Amino acid sequence: MSSDEKYINPFKVAQQQLDEAAELLQLDQATHELLRNPLRELHVTLPVKMDDGSTKIFQGFRVQYNDARGPTKGGLRFHPSETIDTVRALAAWMTWKCAVVDIPLGGGKGGVICNPKAMSQGEIERLSRAYIRQVGRIIGLEKDSPAPDVYTNPQIMAWMVDEFSFLKGSNEFGVITGKPLNLGGSLGRGDATARGGMFCLREASKILNIKLKDATTAIQGYGNAGSFAHTLGVELFGLRVVAVSDSKGGIYNADGLSFDEVFSFKQETGSVVGFPGSKRISNEELLELEVDVLVPSALENVITDANAANIKAKISVELANGPTTPEADKILYENGVYVIPDFLANAGGVTVSYFEMVQNAYNYYWDEPTVHERLDKKMTDAFHAVHKAAQEHKVHNRLAAYLVAVNRVAEVVKLRGWT
């Protein structure tokens, strides 16, 4: 971070967004205060034997933000710059995400400060098992279910399920979602985050009367969500994806970029940068392209008050968590950019994770068309609930999504007699 960049604390952002919704909903002070903070969090210290025989000490977290509506649910990140405030913010957003799509879960999140890119598979496995040995006491199908997130994957989830099952003395597949298919995973989970976002995009295009066939699209971030957004956007609607980027930079071609070719190139070289027939652009330039659809799929706080006025897209589908700051939201709203906010747009992942928990609980598994159909219904209903709230209250979509979600959680908090 350069000296002229100011650190944006993601948890302060999450609290600021909640405060705005609480004021409009006229929440009583106790309920508001309860919802501003995690119900519980566990900090763990993890000694791990490394391949060279040394022992390295890692720090990890698990935050269970609010379980009023049901067990908590949320991803687990392995990242060198992980912070407790990032984990708190993501756990808060998971709480609102589960509520906005109306699934009976609360929000949780976990993280370990580590650099998995500099670790062997054996070291990552030992770290994964060490994490479960420490947090195992507070997780489970009926308590809290982790899932893959940044730099974690189905294999890591499989090791964690195995460690937890060993501790419990019986197979407990439902403790973790995003597992490999033959270990109790769900069909349709791989592309669920992007697919849910695409269902929301479809509904937004109807409201705004924008034809999606050949609609120019820029995707920032080419990991799981971003790459699936590329292939699904083309497959479902015929989008013309003109720009994509990853952590090393971006590429642009006005005629459109072939998913198969770009994806293969990234697999071979480690980046989209240098893709033949494309012009190199920066991540910052990608956000400001004159396109119909922008899909921020990278990290937090990429659209701020410094660049929001330069965003020219008609629709922003936020597959990343927290890509837009509260100040930027106001600018985008005033400029007529239709934002499908993160905890609505990317809720497809947790929705299918919930479906996975349901399938694990009664040991009966659905086919892929059933998963897609049920996901479509959940996302479509959630989209229209948020759009309706935005119209009624004359507010931007993120605040509308908060109004829907916070109201649902607050109602249960009151019913249970917590406040």
Q: Report the candidate in 316, 322, 291 with the shortest Cα–Cα distance to residue 93.
A: 322
Confidence of residue 347 (pLDDT cuts 50, 70, 90): very high
Tallying the residues shown for the chain, one arrives at 419
**pLDDT value at residue 2:** 42
Give per-residue pLDDT as tens, 126-143. Answer: 999 999 999 999 999 999
Q: Of the candidates 145, 162, 180, which is a domain's last residue?
A: 180
- Domain closes at, from 150, 180, 210: 180
231 and 173 within one domain? no
Could you tell me which of 281, 291, 294 has the C-alpha nearest to residue 226?
294
247 and 172 within one domain: no
Q: Is residue 15 part of a domain?
A: no
Q: Residue 5: its pLDDT value, please?
A: 54
- Structural domain includes residue 21: no
- Work out how many domains the chain is built from and give that number: 2
pLDDT, average across residues 202-215: 96
The end-to-end CA distance of the chain, in Å, is 41
pLDDT attached to residue 4: 44
- Tell whether 202 and 227 lie within a shared domain: yes
Query: Are 145 and 268 within one domain?
Result: no
How far from chain centre, in Å, is Cα 378? 16
Predicted TM-score (pTM) of the model is 0.91
Of the listed 6, 56, 97, 109, which one is catalytic? Answer: 109
Alpha-carbon distance values, 76 to 7, 91, 156 (Å): 23, 10, 10
- DSSP string computed for 303-325: B-TTTGGG---SEEE--SSS-B-
Enumerate residues 6+ apart whose C-beta is below 8 A from 364.
none
* Domain that includes residue 57, residue range: 39-180
% residues pLDDT > 70 (the chain): 99
354: left (phi over 0), alpha (psi -120 to 50) or beta: alpha
Q: Are strands 249-252 and 279-281 parallel, antiparallel or unpaired?
A: antiparallel
SS3 per residue for 50-105:
CCCCCEEEEEEEEEEEECCCCCEEEEEEEECCCCHHHHHHHHHHHHHHHHHCCCCC
The answer to whether residues 394 and 270 belong to one domain is: yes
pLDDT in tens, 78-96: 999 999 999 999 999 999 9
Which pLDDT belongs to residue 6?
67
Q: Which residue has the tokens 């400001």?
A: 288
Note the pLDDT of residue 299: 78
Query: What is the pLDDT averaged over residues 293-309?
Result: 90
Same domain, 114 and 47: yes
**54 has pLDDT over 60:** yes
CATH number of the structural domain spanning residue 95: 3.40.50.10860
Distances (CA, A) of 178 to 73, 157, 276, 349: 12, 7, 34, 9
In a domain, 27, yes or no: no
- Stronger pLDDT, 251 or 2, i.e. the higher one: 251
Residues 381, 262 within the same domain:
yes
Does residue 13 surpass a pLDDT of 90?
Answer: no
Q: Looking at the predicted structure, is the pLDDT value of residue 17 above 90?
A: no
73 is catalytic: no
